[in-house]
């Protein structure tokens, strides 16, 4: 959540400086990047109600249903209650147990009590921390306790990332006093967060597991922030990474990496089944915040789209040009209006109007267009009624053309070696590799023989991409399974190139990411259809479109061994000889705003 992000940034700045001994120029550049953020430590005092009182801070224990005491930080106004109360639960403990929360102070001084509870096993709370498992029962116990307090007038839930999970997971069983929810960056379908067409999102989930596992008492050093935990993520078989490096088993992580199929019962029982079932049952107004370059974007937007229509009629979806840390990306061209929405201030005002003034929120779907530097109010996202599409065909000599007559029965070949994967340079689902995530300056065409590039002619007018970019490829390989990736980028007139969207598929899950694993006959030609995550990005006149085709995108996604079967069980690799067929059906479809 917002005040935690501020603490993260301060801590990260110190870590970066210590680990890499940054120069003053580099530190200034880092601070400049932080300036282009859509959150702040406290709301903008010029845009919200002025302070009306002091505050009182308490640290107490609140019991769970099974009798454990969880550390609970409470900020109360010094005026006579009852007051509105904001509630959030978290496993992140860097603010400690003292009176250190500036956001809590700001709310309490304006007549709204503010509560943060540490999850079991974290921050002095009793019990053992098992990610996700106990959040429903523990969250319900806290909210019911708050609702029973004589000083509680009504309640709002809020959170970001894992702390948003703690709100999602109880949103269908709320006491009457809960009037609204404001959450950022957490998906309601765990399989979608973990896998894309059979490829595991390692940068976020493997690194998160290492950093947050209570079983790992001593965390590994991060001497190179450009390659965080690359050694651990590349280890084979990945199912034994935990014992090899740390001498302990992480059963919950092994579950994530072993249950690859969406049809596997693992994803449709327990906490994951509960989480997926909740959005259609939500009755209170909710603000759902997603980022174009946040790794939870897909499932976050899904959560909003699953809401009942009567709830959408008083709810909002906000999709901005930021990454998981709410930092604007890319920082190129014009982005003056990208930070028009300060989410810290917006959250305060939304709760103030709802809980203090008793006003029902107005609905909105607001999406920012990169390049155009404009916010659009839409009826849905991705848009349901957008049929305007630009189609480009892959042709020989590295051309991307709108004329399919220039395509031919020409083939391109390259070798994919899993021991030398293409490293992620920019990506929408990266997090821990902070220097790689978002939209990044791309290498020049031909920088690797296993990356095939196709470039269009210069555009004569702007094109506003609005939705999911789709790639259609005809391919073959000499292995029984492999992967194919793509990346669409904008090449600006000065030659600088920035990625817009990426995509990946394995042959085992081709054209059916939510189905069961398929077989593939080596040497056979197959069609691949892969959609990207949605994006709103205006391509500029004079720019060109570049499409890169390869077979790896590490660490954004796990490296494919070129053997069929569960990826994490593979203990060896082999080189795959890939063929891309440049006929009239190998193309890219770009959705445009009408």
Tell me if 215 is assigned to some domain.
Answer: no
pLDDT at 104: 97
- CA atoms of 489 and 543, how far apart (whole Å): 10
Q: Measure CA 46 to chain center.
A: 31
Query: Does residue 552 form part of some domain?
Result: yes
The pLDDT of residue 19 is: 33
Query: 93, 122 in Cβ contact below 8 A?
Result: yes
Residue closest to 241 by CA, chosen among 272, 214, 202: 202
**The total number of residues written for the chain in this structure:** 594
Instruction: Inform me whether the pLDDT recorded for 2 exceeds 60.
Output: no
pLDDT reading at 436 higher than 60: yes
Q: Looking at the predicted structure, is the pLDDT value of residue 29 above 70?
A: no
32 pLDDT band, cuts 50/70/90, is low
| Dihedral, CA of residue 164, residue 168, residue 170 and residue 173, to nearest 10 | 140
What is the pLDDT, as a whole number, of residue 457? Answer: 97
Query: Does residue 405 register a pLDDT over 70?
Result: no
Structural contact between residues 450 and 550, judged by C-beta atoms closer than 8 angstroms: yes
Is residue 578 within a helix (H) or strand (E), and if so which, with residue range?
strand 576-582
Please report, for the domain that includes residue 461, its CATH number.
2.60.120.260
Q: What pTM, to 2 d.p., does this model score?
A: 0.92
Q: Which residue, among 517, 111, 168, 591, has the nearest Cα to 369 in the 3D structure?
A: 591
d(CA 91, CA 179): 24
- Read off the pLDDT band of 31 (50, 70, 90): low
Structurally, how many domains does the chain consist of?
Answer: 2
Report d(CA 355, CA 31) in Å as an integer: 35
- 456 pLDDT higher than 80: yes
Residue among 7, 6, 22 nearest 435 (CA): 22
Section 553-557 average pLDDT: 98
Is 193 a domain residue?
no
The pLDDT confidence band at residue 218, using thresholds 50, 70 and 90, is: very high
Reply yes or no on whether the pLDDT at 385 is more than 80. no
Q: Are residues 373 and 410 in the same domain?
A: no
Q: Are residues 332 and 407 in the same domain?
A: no
Count of Cβ atoms closer than 10 Å to residue 484 Cβ:
25
Residue 583 banded pLDDT, cuts 50, 70, 90: confident
Same-domain status, 50 and 21 = yes
Q: Which of 248-257, 271-280, 397-406, 415-424 has the lowest mean pLDDT?
A: 397-406
Digit-coded pLDDT (tens) for 80-108:
999 999 999 999 998 899 999 999 999 99
Residues 355 and 408 in one domain: no
| Gyration radius of the chain's alpha carbons | 24
416 token code pair = 């994919």
Does the pLDDT at position 487 exceed 90? yes
Residue 382: cis peptide before it, omega within 30 degrees of 0 = yes
- Is residue 344 pLDDT above 50, yes or no? yes
pLDDT bracket for residue 594 (50, 70, 90) = confident
Q: Domain for residue 203, yes or no? A: no
Asked whether the beta carbons of 584 and 421 are under 8 A apart, the reply is no
Domain assignment present for 399: yes
At 156 the three-state DSSP class reads strand
Instruction: Give pLDDT, residue 13.
Output: 37
Same domain, 509 and 571: yes
Residue 405 counted as domain residue: yes
In a domain, 250, yes or no: no
DSSP code, position 128: -
Do 413 and 471 share a domain, yes or no? yes
pLDDT band at 573 (very low <50, low <70, confident <90, very high): very high
| Same domain for 554 and 499 | yes
Helix (H) or strand (E) holding 148: helix 135-148
Whether residues 415 and 467 share a domain: the answer is yes
Torsion of CA 309, 339, 349, 178, to 10 degrees: 40
**pLDDT tens-digit map of 111-136:** 999 999 999 999 999 999 999 999 99
Q: Is residue 232 part of a domain?
A: no
- Of 328, 354, 377, the residue at which a domain comes to its end is 377
Q: Do residues 338 and 504 touch, judged by C-beta distance below 8 A?
A: no
Residues 19 and 113 in one domain: yes
Tell me what the mean pLDDT of segment 38-46 comes to.
Answer: 91
Task: Give the residue from 315, 348, 377 where a domain finishes.
Answer: 377
- Predicted confidence (pLDDT) per residue in 490-534, tens digit: 999 999 999 999 999 999 999 999 999 999 999 999 999 999 999
Lowest mean pLDDT among 11-20, 204-213, 374-383, 480-489: 11-20
Domain containing residue 368: CATH number: 3.40.50.1820
The answer to whether 481 and 506 have CB atoms below 8 angstroms apart is yes
Instruction: For residues 271 and 523, give the distance between their C-alpha atoms in angstroms, rounded to a whole number.
Output: 41
- Assign 5 a pLDDT band (cuts: 50, 70, 90): very low
Instruction: Tell me which residue of 427, 586, 444, 568 sits closest to 504, measured CA to CA.
Output: 427
349-358 pLDDT per residue, tens: 999 999 999 9
400, 470: one domain: yes
SS3 string of 277-319?
HCHHHCCCCEEEEEEEECCCHHHHHHHHHCCCHHHHCCCEEEE
Q: Using CA atoms, how far apart are residues 439 and 292, in angstroms rounded to an integer?
A: 10
| Torsion, CA 270, CA 272, CA 275, CA 280, rounded to 10 | -100
Q: Which two tokens stand for residue 231?
A: 């050694």
Residues forming beta bridges with residue 142, ordered by sequence position: none
d(CA 102, CA 43): 10
- Report d(CA 349, CA 103) in Å as an integer: 13
Q: Are 373 and 394 members of one domain?
A: no
Nearest Cα to 151, choosing from 82, 86, 85, 58? 82
Picking from 138-152, 364-378, 399-413, 542-556, which range would have the lowest pLDDT averaged per residue? 399-413
| Cα dihedral sign, 201-206-209-215 | positive
Q: What is residue 224's predicted lDDT score, i.e. its pLDDT?
A: 85
> In Å, how far from its chain's centre is CA 395?
34
pLDDT of residue 36: 76
Kindly report the average pLDDT of the chain as a whole number.
92
Among 377, 399, 427, residue at a domain's last position: 377
The pLDDT confidence band at residue 9, using thresholds 50, 70 and 90, is very low
The range of the structural domain enclosing residue 22 comes to: 2-188+278-377
Give dist(CA 284, CA 175) in Å, integer: 11
33 and 129 part of one domain: yes
Under the banding of pLDDT at 50, 70 and 90, the label for residue 4 is very low
């Amino acid at each position: 959540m917002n005040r935690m992000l501020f603490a993260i940034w301060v801590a990260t700045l110190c870590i970066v400086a210590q680990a890499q001994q940054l120069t003053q120029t580099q530190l200034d550049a880092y601070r400049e990047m932080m300036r282009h953020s859509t959150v702040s430590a406290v709301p903008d005092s010029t845009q919200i109600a002025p302070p009306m009182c002091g505050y009182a801070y308490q640290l107490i224990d609140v019991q769970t249903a099974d009798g454990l005491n969880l550390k609970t930080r409470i900020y109360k106004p010094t005026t006579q209650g009852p007051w509105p109360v904001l509630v959030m639960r978290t496993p992140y403990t860097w603010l400690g147990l003292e009176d250190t929360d500036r956001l809590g102070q700001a709310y309490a001084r304006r007549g709204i009590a503010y509560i943060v509870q540490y999850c079991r096993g974290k921050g002095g709370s009793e019990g053992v921390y098992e990610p996700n498992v106990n959040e429903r029962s523990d969250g319900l116990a806290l909210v019911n306790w708050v609702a029973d307090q004589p000083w509680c007038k009504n309640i709002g839930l809020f959170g970001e990332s894992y702390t948003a999970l703690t709100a999602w997971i109880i949103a269908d069983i709320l006491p009457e006093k809960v009037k609204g929810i404001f959450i950022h960056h957490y998906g309601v379908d765990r399989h979608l967060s973990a896998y894309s067409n059979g490829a595991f999102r390692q940068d976020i989930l493997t690194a998160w597991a290492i950093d947050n596992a209570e079983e790992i008492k001593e965390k590994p050093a991060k001497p190179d922030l450009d390659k965080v935990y690359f050694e651990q993520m590349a280890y084979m078989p990945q199912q034994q990474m935990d014992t090899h490096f740390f001498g302990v088993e992480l059963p919950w992580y092994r579950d994530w990496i072993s249950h690859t199929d969406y049809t596997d019962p693992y994803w449709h029982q327990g906490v994951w089944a509960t989480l997926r079932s909740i959005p259609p049952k939500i009755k209170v107004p909710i603000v759902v915040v997603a980022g174009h370059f946040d790794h939870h974007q897909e499932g976050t937007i899904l959560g909003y789209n699953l809401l009942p229509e009567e709830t959408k009629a008083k709810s909002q979806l906000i999709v901005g040009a930021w990454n998981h840390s709410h930092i604007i990306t890319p920082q190129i061209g014009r982005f003056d209006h990208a930070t028009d929405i300060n989410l810290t201030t917006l959250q305060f005002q939304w709760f103030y109007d709802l809980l203090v003034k008793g006003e029902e929120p107005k609905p909105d779907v607001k999406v920012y267009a990169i390049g155009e530097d404009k916010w659009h109010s839409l009826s849905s996202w991705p848009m349901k009624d957008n049929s305007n599409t630009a189609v480009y065909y892959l042709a020989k000599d590295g051309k991307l053309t709108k004329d399919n007559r220039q395509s031919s029965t020409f083939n391109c070949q390259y070798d994919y070696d899993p021991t030398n994967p293409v490293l992620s340079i920019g990506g929408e689902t990266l997090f821990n590799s902070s220097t790689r995530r978002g939209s990044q300056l791309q290498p020049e065409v031909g920088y690797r023989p296993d990356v095939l590039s196709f470039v269009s002619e210069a555009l004569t007018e702007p094109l506003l991409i609005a939705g999911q970019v789709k790639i259609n490829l005809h391919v073959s390989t000499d292995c029984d399974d492999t992967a194919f990736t793509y990346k669409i980028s904008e090449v600006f007139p000065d030659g600088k190139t920035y990625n817009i969207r990426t995509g990946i598929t394995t042959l085992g899950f081709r054209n059916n990411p939510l189905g069961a694993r398929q077989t593939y006959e080596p040497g056979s030609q197959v069609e691949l259809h892969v959609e990207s995550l949605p994006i709103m990005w205006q391509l500029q006149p004079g720019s060109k479109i570049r499409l890169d085709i390869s077979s790896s995108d590490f660490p954004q996604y796990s490296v494919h061994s070129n053997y069929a079967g569960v990826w994490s069980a593979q203990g060896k690799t082999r080189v795959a000889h890939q063929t891309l067929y440049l006929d009239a059906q190998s193309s890219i479809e770009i959705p445009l705003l009408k």
